Amino acid sequence: MRSFKLKTFGLLILAVSCKSNSHEQLNKQSTSKLPNIVIIYADDLGYGDLSAYGATEISTPNIDKLANGGIKFTNGYASSATCTPSRYALLTGSYPWRNKDAKILPGTAPLLIDTAQVTIPKILKTKGYHTGIVGKWHLGLGNGNINWNKHISPGPNEVGFDYSYIMAATQDRVPTVYIRNGYVENLDPTDPIEVNYQENYDGQPTGLDHPELLKMKWHHGHNNSIVNGIPRIGFMKGGESAKWKDEEMADTFLSQAKSFVKREKNNPFFLYYALQQPHVPRTPSPEFLGKSGMGPRGDVILEADWCIGQLLETLEAEGLVENTLIILSSDNGPVLNDGYYDDAVEKLGNHKPAGPLRGGKYSLFEAGTRVPFITYWKGKIEPGVSEALVSQIDLFASLSTLVGSDVNNFDSEDLLETFLGKTDKGRESLIIEATTRIALRQGDWVMIPPYSGQALIQSVNIETGNSKDYQLYNLREDVGEQKNLAKTNTEKFQEMVLELETILQR
Ligand code: NG6
Ligand code: CA
């Protein structure tokens, strides 16, 4: 496959690629009946958080059904160790470090994806798909000065989604309201919403000043406006009737996802179901409270698993499951204490959210970006485990091929046959990112360049991967990244330094 890059106004625009013959055949077969595509995207779910990926202290039967009935990737990566950049890369097929604004965004940030950029849903729309997003957006909205009481635009509907039902940023950030197709849901116009991240509104209690009002205590950050007894990041005023109830969020997004499927069952559809779990604040619905014995973090993982089971049941009941490709992954690795006292550390017991991997969310070590990654298509994908190196960034080119489009993007590799389990061949190499630092994965190896800055983020107790020395690990022999081989395997080390430079110069 060859692809070329065209640049206009600093934006990565389309590159056209020649597809192989086998892809043409596949395209011919599939244009007769294009499959529905569902991407289920968890928030901060770790490599070791699922029983299908080796967890013994928690059971996730519904996700396991996908993992064991489809392809379970053991070298599947999010593009970044935090949310916004990973979501940007997933939808656009572009490495997030190419866009200097692709970092964790406040709820008031402008839309990160240029409306001229090609996205997965835009490609799918050219083939007749009806496209929807339900859940966490966190890619910015508007042009930098949002009036939350009017039509909020541009947003998901301007970058390819026909339907959107979203939270703007994260569950811990204001505004704590749902937005449907650009309009705040249940808003009373006589109680307008105001939001900012700089200063509080007169007379509004904050988590810092009024700890007695809190049902969940903040540990670091998260001490601005209080909503439902939970202190948030950012300040918000008004919009009382529109505020979400955290414990109902899972049900709200699930019923939106189910309705979308039922509404669109006669079209090919694309659903991006972006779950909020297990990101903070972890607020299980009453049915799941205390169910894991591991505190709210475990409870919301069980809740997310149940939601996925419910969505699967809907697909089955509607007779769609044999014509639907389901992809499940997570936007970054796990974190225990991410800013609230919620027993995630205290009640962890023997559970290992990162499995055997080192680091976690925010980290350049493996647990930052290596995440559960599953493809499932009943009757089409033969169950199996794949060690192929694959990234969420590759879904762009691969889904493009699946639907018979010739649109591609420079950074995204067409791995459709790998995702469908027809081959075990993955990427040769991949750049992974953690808060604007990058490292190179290649074959069994990872090479992390030197970075200044703290080696440990104390507040979350996660190792960043920063070191004054180059690091080189052989992940096949040392998946926990304990033995730095940069000085002993100089040949491999130099090859990877060169390879990283070459990729960066492209
Ligand atoms: C951090 C928050 C963290 C989480 C993260 C975004 C603080 C101290 N920490 O800034 O709690 O919200 O941003 O997570 O505010 S992500 O998964 O959306 O990238
Ligand atoms: Ca996340």
CA distance 219 to 221: 7
How many whole angstroms from 358 Cα to the centroid of ligand 1?
Answer: 20
Distance of CA 109 to the CA centre of its chain: 18
Task: Tell whether the model's pLDDT for residue 404 goes beyond 80.
Answer: yes
The reply to whether ligand 1 has any atom less than 6 angstroms from the CB of 220 is yes
pLDDT of residue 32: 57
Of the candidates 292, 319, 318, which has an alpha carbon nearest to the alpha carbon of residue 306? 292
Q: How many helices (H) and strands (E) does the chain have?
A: 9, 26
Tokens of 405: 């489009």
Q: Give the residue, by CA position, lying nearest to ligand 1 atom 7.
A: 221
Of the candidates 307, 274, 333, which has an alpha carbon nearest to the alpha carbon of residue 53? 333
**Strand pairing of 76-77 and 390-391?**
parallel
Task: Count CA within 13 A, CB hemisphere, residue 151.
Answer: 6
CB-count burial class (<10 Å; 0-12, 13-18, 19+) for 36: buried
Of the candidates 172, 380, 360, which has an alpha carbon nearest to the alpha carbon of residue 283? 172
pLDDT of residue 16: 34
The reply to whether ligand 1 has any atom less than 6 angstroms from the CB of 136 is no
Q: Quick one: residue 447, left, alpha or beta (phi over 0 = left, psi -120 to 50 = alpha)?
A: beta
Cα–Cα distance list, 436 to 186, 332, 487 (Å): 38, 14, 25
Name the amino acid, one letter, at 477: E
pLDDT of residue 436: 86
Instruction: Mark the residues whose beta carbon lies below 5 A from ion ligand 2.
Output: 43-44, 83, 331-332
The reply to whether ligand 1 has any atom less than 6 angstroms from the CB of 138 is yes
Contact 364, 432 (CB under 8 A): yes
The reply to whether ligand 1 has any atom less than 6 angstroms from the CB of 82 is yes
Mean pLDDT, rounded, of the chain: 94
The reply to whether ligand 1 has any atom less than 6 angstroms from the CB of 83 is yes
What tens digit of pLDDT does each residue of 257-310 get? 999 999 999 999 999 999 999 999 999 999 999 999 999 999 999 999 999 999
Altogether, the residues listed in the chain come to a count of 506
Residue indicated by tokens 């920063």 = 466
CB atoms within 10 A of CB 54: 13
- My answer on whether omega of the bond before 334 falls inside 30° of 0, hence cis, is no
Task: Tell whether the model's pLDDT for residue 3 goes beyond 80.
Answer: no
Q: Among 84, 88, 104, 206, say which to mutate for ligand 1: greatest number of ligand atoms within 8 Å of CB.
A: 104
Q: Among 45, 166, 170, say which to mutate for ligand 1: greatest number of ligand atoms within 8 Å of CB.
A: 170
CB atoms within 10 A of CB 481: 23
How many whole angstroms from 85 Cα to the centroid of ligand 2?
Answer: 10
How many whole angstroms from 338 Cα to the centroid of ligand 1?
Answer: 7
The predicted model gives 417-442 an average pLDDT of 97
Q: Characterize 413-444 residue by residue with b for buried, 16 or more Cβ atoms within 10 angstroms of its Cβ, and e for exposed.
A: bbbbbbbbbeeeebbebbbbbbbebbbbbbeb
pLDDT of residue 505: 86
